[in-house]
């Protein structure tokens, strides 16, 4: 990953250098910056995991077959895991499991709260056909390996907070830091640095869904998201929108920035049982349309839990991606602006988008007690999550078109208020409705 990003950076710098003449030496420096940005917000890519599928059963199938999930939620994570393990072992047993015609040992994980279903590995085409025809099965969908983002370069993570707290521009733009103490945000991401001095993490409720039994952040992305929502108002580092709110790590992305929609379904199933109305969930993740992800998210939203979702970084219609495309009064799909309220060149758009929020050069907390600057709709969504956590959001202004083009050979444009070049193309909110900027 890191090597690949360095190579592409070098290639771009080389190309920029070749296209620059001496009158435009100023562009060379900007070219470096553009290449950095391109690598840090590289478009989400996804590829099918052969044989791995998310199978959703019709509501009530578990109960009708003696597989009802114990509903006790005492102890939060412990009771969830206990109940889940009982369901998994029953589903995998030939005697107690559903008679689906497949080898029940192929069932690798189960969910039974928001939705009923399971994830299966190593399914053959014949298995898939069998499940499609089964009247107990509502849907069967391919699972994906999604590469969400490049890992922040280690050297860009400042290891310690400088003395004196800074208020990042995005926090100011959405109305400044409010008091989030006592409120809870659930972060479905790469984990959260559990002992970061600028975050209040509930480690009891935090849980990994990627098999490492460790909700700590090996990447940096989830900690960055958590800090924008809720970094503590103290005398170090940064401050979040809902300063001091409790954050819960729900880890679905590994240290390489990879994850799968199947684990998002499991994390949402966990939220459905353990979160309370008024809590907020942040999902800065995205994949091709997936009805299991969408259906689970809707169940959570209908329970009164609010969810902020990133629109995506591919300058594409967000209606083609899950969970960005899901609409509900409690679901906020968020596009990204730069300073000056300009549309970021990478932000996806679409009728599912509810608000825009700051998502360019955002400073926040990072792994290992550090801090780093990052860009993406991943950074915009947690600004909205913080606003929503504090109460009913309002809007202040709307996004402006950004003049910007990057074609790997030449670039020109007026990005934001500070950099002026000759104009060629421009990027803007192209879905027909200009996004309002969320504000508390
Ligand atoms: Ca702080
Ligand atoms: Ca929407
Ligand atoms: Ca729009």
Q: Please tell me the predicted confidence (pLDDT) of residue 13.
A: 23
CA 131 to ligand 1 center in whole angstroms: 51
416 alpha carbon – ligand 3 mean position (Å): 18
- Of the ranges 142-146, 171-175, 288-292, the best mean pLDDT one: 171-175
Q: Which ligand is nearest to the CA of 197?
A: 1
How many Cα atoms within 13 Å fall on the side-chain side of residue 55? 31
Average pLDDT taken over every residue of the chain: 85
CA of 171 to the centre of ligand 1 (A): 12
pLDDT confidence band for 75 (50 / 70 / 90): low
Q: Any idea which ligand is nearest the CA of 433?
A: 3
Q: Which of 196, 219, 221, 406 is catalytic?
A: 221
Q: What is the mean pLDDT of residues 330-353?
A: 93
- For the cut 60, the answer to whether the pLDDT of residue 405 exceeds it is no
- CA of 165 from ligand 1 middle (Å) equals 6
d(C-alpha 51, C-alpha 145), whole Å? 12
Ligand nearest to the CA of 347: 3
| Least trusted range by pLDDT, from 14-18, 75-79, 179-183 | 14-18
Q: Looking at residue 8, what is its pLDDT?
A: 27
Whether the pLDDT of residue 258 is over 60: the answer is yes
| Residue 204 reports pLDDT greater than 80 | yes
Distance in Å, CA 303 to ligand 1 centroid: 32
Do residues 273 and 262 make contact, with C-beta atoms less than 8 angstroms apart? no
Task: Looking at the CA of 354, name the nearest ligand.
Answer: 2
Kindly give, in sequence order, each residue whose CB lies less than 8 Å from that of residue 167, ignoring residues fewer than 6 positions away: 176, 177, 238, 239
CA 349 to centroid of ligand 3, rounded, Å:
5
79 tagged catalytic: no
What pLDDT was estimated at residue 410? 42
DSSP letters along 277-298, please?
TT-EEEE---EE--HHHHHHHH
From 36, 127, 134, 189, active-site residue: 189
Shortest-distance ligand to the CA of residue 353 = 2
- What's the pLDDT at 344? 87
Whether 46 is catalytic: no
pLDDT at residue 334, rounded to an integer: 98
What pLDDT is attached to residue 164? 85
Tell how far the Cα of 172 is from the centroid of ligand 3, in angstroms: 22
Highest mean pLDDT: which of 25-34, 156-165, 332-341? 332-341
Q: How many angstroms is it from 437 CA to the middle of ligand 3?
A: 11
The pLDDT score that the predictor gives to residue 34 is 43
Q: How far is the CA of 380 from the centre of ligand 1 (A)?
A: 19
At 339 the pLDDT is 87
Nearest Cα to Cα of residue 223 among 149, 278, 165: 149
| Ligand positioned closest to the Cα atom of 398 | 3
pLDDT band at 404 (very low <50, low <70, confident <90, very high): low
Q: Is 341 a catalytic residue?
A: no
**Whether the Cβ atoms of residue 90 and residue 97 lie closer than 8 Å to each other:** yes
Question: 364 with 238: CB under 8 angstroms?
Answer: yes
Q: Does 422 score more than 50 pLDDT?
A: no
Mean local confidence (pLDDT), 135-150: 89
Distance 350 CA to ligand 2 centre (A): 9
184-196: per-residue pLDDT in tens?
999 999 999 999 9
By mean pLDDT, which of 188-192, 237-241, 315-319, 425-429 is the weakest? Answer: 425-429
Question: Residue 108 pLDDT > 90, yes or no?
Answer: yes
Residue 412's pLDDT is what? 41
pLDDT of residue 424: 43
Give residues with Cβ within 8 angstroms of 355, minimum separation 6: 332, 334, 335, 384, 393, 395, 435, 436, 437, 438
From ligand 2's centre to the CA of 36, what distance in Å?
30
Determine which one of 314, 322, 378, 381 is catalytic: 378
Cα 358 to averaged position of ligand 1 atoms, centre (Å): 19
For residue 236, the ligand closest to its alpha carbon is 1
Superfamily (CATH) of domain 155-439: Peptidase S8/S53 domain (3.40.50.200)
Which distant-in-sequence residues (6+ apart) come within 8 Å of 360 by Cβ? Answer: 336, 337, 338, 339, 344, 375, 379, 416
**In percent, how much of the chain has pLDDT > 70?**
81
Please tell me which of 143-152, 237-246, 307-316 the model is most confident about, judged by mean pLDDT.
Answer: 237-246
252 CA to centre of ligand 3 in angstroms: 28
For residue 47, what is the enclosing H or E element? strand 45-57
Q: What is the mean pLDDT of residues 346-366?
A: 95
Give residue-wise pLDDT tens across range 169-181.
999 999 999 999 9
- Cα of 356 from ligand 3 centre, angstroms: 8
Q: What CATH number belongs to 46-146?
A: 3.30.70
What confidence score (pLDDT) does residue 246 get? 98
Among all bound ligands, the one having the nearest atom to the CA of 167 is 1
Q: Of 31, 100, 19, which is closest to residue 67 (Cα–Cα)?
A: 100
């Amino acid at each position: 990953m890191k090597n690949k990003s360095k190579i592409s950076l070098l290639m771009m710098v080389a190309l920029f250098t070749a296209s620059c003449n001496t009158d435009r030496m100023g562009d060379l420096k900007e070219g470096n910056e553009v290449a950095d940005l391109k690598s840090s917000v590289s478009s989400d890519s996804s590829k099918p995991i052969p044989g791995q599928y998310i199978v959703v059963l019709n509501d009530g199938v578990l109960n009708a077959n003696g597989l009802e999930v114990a509903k006790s939620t005492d102890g939060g994570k412990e009771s969830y895991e206990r109940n889940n393990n009982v369901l998994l072992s029953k589903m995998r047993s030939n005697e107690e499991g559903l008679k689906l015609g497949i080898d029940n040992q192929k069932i690798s994980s189960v969910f039974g709260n928001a939705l009923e279903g399971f994830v299966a590995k190593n399914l053959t085409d014949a298995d898939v056909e069998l499940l499609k025809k089964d009247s107990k099965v509502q849907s069967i969908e391919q699972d994906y390996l999604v590469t969400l983002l490049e890992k922040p370069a280690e050297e860009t993570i400042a290891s310690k907070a400088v003395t004196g707290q800074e208020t990042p521009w995005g926090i100011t733009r959405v109305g400044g830091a409010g008091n989030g103490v006592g409120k809870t945000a659930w972060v479905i991401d790469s984990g959260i640095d559990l002992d970061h001095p600028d975050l209040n993490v509930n480690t009891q409720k935090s849980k990994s869904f990627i098999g490492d039994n460790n909700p700590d952040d090996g990447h940096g992305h989830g900690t960055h998201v958590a800090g924008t929502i809720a970094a503590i108002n103290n005398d170090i580092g940064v401050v979040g929108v809902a300063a001091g709110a409790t954050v819960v790590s729900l880890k679905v992305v590994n240290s390489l920035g990879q994850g799968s929609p199947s684990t998002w379904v499991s994390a949402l199933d966990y939220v459905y049982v353990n979160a309370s109305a008024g809590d907020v969930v942040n999902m800065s993740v995205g994949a091709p349309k997936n009805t299991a992800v969408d259906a689970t998210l809707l169940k959570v939203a209908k329970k009164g839990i609010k969810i902020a979702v990133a629109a995506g970084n591919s300058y594409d219609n967000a209606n083609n991606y899950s969970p960005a495309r899901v609409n509900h009064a409690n679901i906020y799909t968020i596009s990204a602006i730069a300073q000056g309220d300009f549309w970021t060149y990478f932000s996806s758009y679409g009728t599912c988008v509810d608000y825009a929020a700051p998502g360019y050069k955002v400073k926040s907390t990072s792994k290992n007690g550090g801090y780093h600057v990052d860009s993406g709709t991943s950074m915009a969504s947690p600004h909205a999550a913080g606003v929503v956590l504090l109460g009913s959001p309002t809007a202040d202004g709307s996004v402006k078109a950004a003049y910007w083009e990057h074609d790997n050979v030449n670039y020109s444009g007026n990005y934001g208020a500070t950099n002026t070049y000759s104009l060629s193309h421009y990027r803007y909110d192209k879905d027909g409705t200009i996004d309002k900027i969320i504000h508390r």
